[in-house]
Structure 1
């Protein structure tokens, strides 16, 4: 019996079994069959720290739904973020990404706050995210709320250009067994999850492994940036009529390839507890606390052990039919312990850092159609003391299906350890009785400041069409530069640059037919920076800020071919970058989804289809190239 005969026999058996299963059980509806009216009734929490309809949110917010992630075929968090039209997502190498909103993107992007279930995942080393250490089971994501624009009033410093809030499903929504395995070019992912009851509550536990192969540089050499990571975790939820409680945690370990030396070793763990109480009259009280540990052992560079603890509490209440109030406070303490290498270091090697805050946000109905939203946060850190982060928003519903809003906000990017404590080399020789560093942290480095004005419009036409557009203008002051050290040789970090950004971001969703849905999004922006008259910066630090594309757009199509069969296509275009110079590119990702049985799903995908290889970030000739790939995923989930 040859291979062709075997394949035909297997195909016949699958077809017969499929027809029997579909006759006996109903296949769940797909996204294209859901009305956009139901989707527009999605509730979000990231805009006002209380549950509100997406249609009422006076901010530029896009929601990536669990169904969109499922249909995309993506297997990692950064890939899933490509679905948001208001995010610029660039793959730097096999494991690293540059992700931002509204400009200032880099591999060390420091103006975008990322949260996983309310737990901040940024590193105090540079106020950015090590994407190689962040992961969840994508099937467990309920939604990803992506806010482009300032979020400092509610979320604090570093939420300058936006907030990404990854919210996972309650344990009760992930019961039973799930097993998934996928391969896509350089990427392999395996997942097992089990959910069940625990007393009067529900729980789930999981394990996940990820392997990324090394990629190729533009020069033809191998880019040793692949990785292997394993992660386990669990969550338990107890729902009550008057509230809910959650306890969850994760632990991971990994090895990251690097050029010329041993692998970087990473490890971490976290534990989070949250309790919510609903009181009659519309008041909701909530408290959350978490502990987070990360370890990064980078040979020939540094070893970091970071422990972070945070506690926060808030109250959201109704003060009459036309007045809503949210107040809260929080405190975070980080214990950073470093073993510095020879080339560079963070001094002092041992440092305790703290952030304390109180905030209030008031929302008044001036008329049945007009709302005024005002809020402010006072946040204290050990570098610059108190920071004031206010916002004022006005929302008007000219019709029941439309919203016009405006906002003015002030936010900051507080100093990180790289701004104040970075030194290269870490132990230089004494010259004339003083240390002569090539680069030194700036003891007088202050917070970068942004003042942002926004004007937005959102439209929902029945169940067939939704549209959102936002114009923004941002003024940045005290941007980081690297200046000659007046006290001696070398350079020091100071705040001697400013910037302006302006642009428009928009997206629309259209249900063409019950089986066909199309969505599109585009961003046009201008990012400009300039040195102060007294600056002598020659490092390109501010030049990097002008390396953002002047425009980028995405077009997504979701089509249900037949019962149990669907296909999704995402075409994405990014304009050219100037510093570092990267050509513009357009590419496409496609995913075919076949529900073989009600409990078995097969995905066949293709990524980066338009070109054999292309660069997304970095300078030639050593930048890493992303290549065309085909993939397959099997997901088994008994009902």
Structure 2
């Protein structure tokens, strides 16, 4: 077996709890093997749901340096930077500032926030250069990954230590004050390998001077971030039939966000902080044991901690001399402790399965968000199982369910069933139906956001706790087709779907209260939503020189929600039509070039967002690789948004043309 295949197989086996049927043929075959859909390794055309695989070649060709940008390569996804160093993502609409309807995993470790439901991409201690691949399950997958796998699952699989021996340095420098430095060392030999990565990143996100807004909004907008992190991974082959994977990560962000308004007659009562401090840490340990050719198991434990702190003040004496100064202590501390068991078994050549369980504790402490210094805590427990049965060489049946007890929503079960029918070799029709739940976050259930006078007395209330939320529920039905033309080196994936969401949770106006603000908000179950549409993606690699991927999505949304704002906004929360393309070509003599193009229709980001007009974005990359004094060198120049400026999430977030250069060395 070639060494690179061994390394890749080891990387995927350690990175995700699904190893039972991973063989050399899986990685040498042109049809990608996916691991995230059922916790069983499967060729793409045998998976029970639609999957997009973003591999190393696509990551490099895109020129993206922020991980959320990679979701622009997935059909049906909308991605935008919001503010305060956070990102928004929506799949088939319903996107807001917190992306709360996705389950996001890094090597099997959930990074979904129990507080807001957000994914804190900016302080994730992970370099884009350490990503082996990303598998995006397009559609609910709660039967495998639990309640928050409501709209999609984004599983980031990092490189094993054995894949990156030696040293490497990567440097980026460009417009919008972009600077990046990543240093990596891979060591060890034989049974024990390790890697260490350290990185420092700096960004200005948008144009600062925005003059097209009203007088109240005019000002000097800024979104500047400086983030440093270090992470490490160790892979230890304890014996021929067992191995250990250990990881850790630390990050610290020194961020600046908000707007500068220097006119004393136009102060800023929104309490937007200019300085933000964010820190994240995690440790993770996994033990994998192969008991026989038919049974193996894995135990994983991890603990993560995220802390955010940003104090802000606003002098409101211009409204009334009696008001004084209002302060906001935006401190948030979140933790997650998790233990999980997974067992893969093969009972016969045509029947295999996976089962296991998980226990997790989540805590949140945020005095301003909950009007209390107490730490909120909850424990959830899960048991899951999934079967794959092949009664005929042309028929593959799959079914599974997750039984889950959540600290807010009680006990629920999330089932899924799918059937894959092979029409002719390489051409498969998939029928699937699944039900998923999304549990309320701590803030949705108990949020009591307040502002205080300098004396500590209550000045204002922004949100009040809910009256008790039911979980969101979705019934998803789909018809899919996966085609593989080997002679053309072409893969095509098409999907038609219809989702019915009930008990949608939205932020609505609470009864009027005494306040200098006109509204106080709460969360409630406000109605149902129908989502239907279609999407396709293709990958064409006719030669070693050319690699082209493209996707298209069409979405229709309707709702009968009671709240008039959501009733107006939800149907336009997804662009009706969107498409994307990434093409790379190797010119020879180490040169390669790539182009990324994206077109999004007009959409409305929910709650905090604005209507963003349709836009076309075009990026281009030119790079060359060569050897110098025993070192592998790559130099590249990347131009982003080479056409007209466009807006992201808010109409003040103006994304303009920008260029950066990069240089990397490895030895």
Q: Would you say the 8 A contact 1:561–1:567 is kept in 2? A: yes
Q: Would you say the 8 A contact 2:175–2:659 is kept in 1? A: yes
1:477 to 492, 502, 516: 502
Q: Would you say the 8 A contact 1:471–1:504 is kept in 2? A: yes
Secondary structure in 1 matching 2:527: strand
- Mapped to 2, the partners of 1:427 and 1:386 lie a distance apart of 38
**For residues 295-353 of structure 1, what are the alpha-carbon distances to aligned partners after superposition, in whole Å with 9 as ceiling and x for unaligned?**
1112124212222110000101111111111101001102322232xxx5355742111
**For residues 104-151 of structure 1, what are the alpha-carbon distances to aligned partners after superposition, in whole Å with 9 as ceiling and x for unaligned?**
112222111111111111111121212222242222211100111001
Moved more, 248-257 or 209-218: 209-218
C-alpha deviation, 1:71, in angstroms: 2.5
Residue number in structure 1 paired with 2:314: none
Residue number in structure 1 paired with 2:465: 441
Residue number in structure 2 paired with 1:593: 623
Matches within 5 A, 1:40-439: 40-93=30-83, 95-186=85-176, 187-197=178-188, 200-213=191-204, 215-216=206-207, 218-219=210-211, 221-239=219-237, 240-259=239-258, 261-299=273-311, 300-340=328-368, 344-345=369-370, 349-425=374-450, 439=463
C-alpha deviation, 1:542, in angstroms: 7.3
- Mapped to 1, the partners of 2:249 and 2:173 lie a distance apart of 24
- Mapped to 1, the partners of 2:80 and 2:74 lie a distance apart of 13
C-alpha deviation, 1:465, in angstroms: 0.9
| Alignment CA distance shift 1:103-1:238 (3 Å) | same
| Alignment CA distance shift 1:488-1:445 (3 Å) | farther
- Mapped to 2, the partners of 1:101 and 1:382 lie a distance apart of 26
**For residues 356-401 of structure 1, what are the alpha-carbon distances to aligned partners after superposition, in whole Å with 9 as ceiling and x for unaligned?**
1001111111212111111111111111111211111111112221
Residue number in structure 2 paired with 1:527: 557
| Alignment CA distance shift 1:578-1:270 (3 Å) | closer
Residue number in structure 1 paired with 2:474: 450
Moved more, 209-218 or 282-291: 209-218
C-alpha deviation, 1:444, in angstroms: 1.3
Residue number in structure 1 paired with 2:485: 461
- Mapped to 1, the partners of 2:88 and 2:658 lie a distance apart of 21
- Mapped to 2, the partners of 1:202 and 1:278 lie a distance apart of 20
Q: Would you say the 8 A contact 2:84–2:256 is kept in 1? A: no
The TM-score normalised by the length of structure 2 is 0.84
C-alpha deviation, 1:85, in angstroms: 3.3
Residue number in structure 2 paired with 1:17: none
C-alpha deviation, 1:48, in angstroms: 0.9
**For residues 427-459 of structure 1, what are the alpha-carbon distances to aligned partners after superposition, in whole Å with 9 as ceiling and x for unaligned?**
79xxxxx99955312131111111100111001
- Mapped to 2, the partners of 1:384 and 1:435 lie a distance apart of 32
Q: Would you say the 8 A contact 2:558–2:570 is kept in 1? A: no
Q: Would you say the 8 A contact 1:251–1:269 is kept in 2? A: yes
Matches within 5 A, 1:543-582: 543-544=569-570, 546-578=572-604, 580-582=610-612
- Mapped to 2, the partners of 1:438 and 1:599 lie a distance apart of 55
**For residues 162-208 of structure 1, what are the alpha-carbon distances to aligned partners after superposition, in whole Å with 9 as ceiling and x for unaligned?**
00000001101111001010123222110000011067300011100
- Mapped to 2, the partners of 1:204 and 1:438 lie a distance apart of 46
- Mapped to 2, the partners of 1:474 and 1:301 lie a distance apart of 40
| Alignment CA distance shift 1:491-1:266 (3 Å) | closer
- Mapped to 2, the partners of 1:472 and 1:111 lie a distance apart of 17
- Mapped to 2, the partners of 1:603 and 1:194 lie a distance apart of 22
| Alignment CA distance shift 1:100-1:487 (3 Å) | closer
Secondary structure in 1 matching 2:140: coil
Gaps of 5+ in 1: 1-35, 429-433
C-alpha deviation, 1:513, in angstroms: 4.2
C-alpha deviation, 1:481, in angstroms: 3.5
- Mapped to 2, the partners of 1:94 and 1:82 lie a distance apart of 21
- Mapped to 2, the partners of 1:276 and 1:143 lie a distance apart of 21
Q: Would you say the 8 A contact 1:156–1:377 is kept in 2? A: yes
**For residues 528-571 of structure 1, what are the alpha-carbon distances to aligned partners after superposition, in whole Å with 9 as ceiling and x for unaligned?**
2222xxx4x35548725632211110112111111311101111
- Mapped to 2, the partners of 1:135 and 1:523 lie a distance apart of 32
- Mapped to 2, the partners of 1:213 and 1:554 lie a distance apart of 25
CA RMSD of aligned residues (A): 2.5
- Mapped to 1, the partners of 2:44 and 2:85 lie a distance apart of 33
Gaps of 5+ in 2: 1-25, 212-217, 259-271, 312-327, 515-519
Residue number in structure 1 paired with 2:657: 628
- Mapped to 2, the partners of 1:201 and 1:608 lie a distance apart of 44
2:648 to 602, 616, 626: 616
Secondary structure in 1 matching 2:223: coil
Secondary structure in 2 matching 1:224: strand
Secondary structure in 2 matching 1:125: coil
Report how many residues are paired.
588
C-alpha deviation, 1:526, in angstroms: 1.0
- Mapped to 1, the partners of 2:446 and 2:589 lie a distance apart of 59
C-alpha deviation, 1:39, in angstroms: 6.5
Secondary structure in 2 matching 1:154: helix
Q: Would you say the 8 A contact 2:53–2:136 is kept in 1? A: yes
- Mapped to 2, the partners of 1:469 and 1:155 lie a distance apart of 24
Secondary structure in 2 matching 1:157: coil
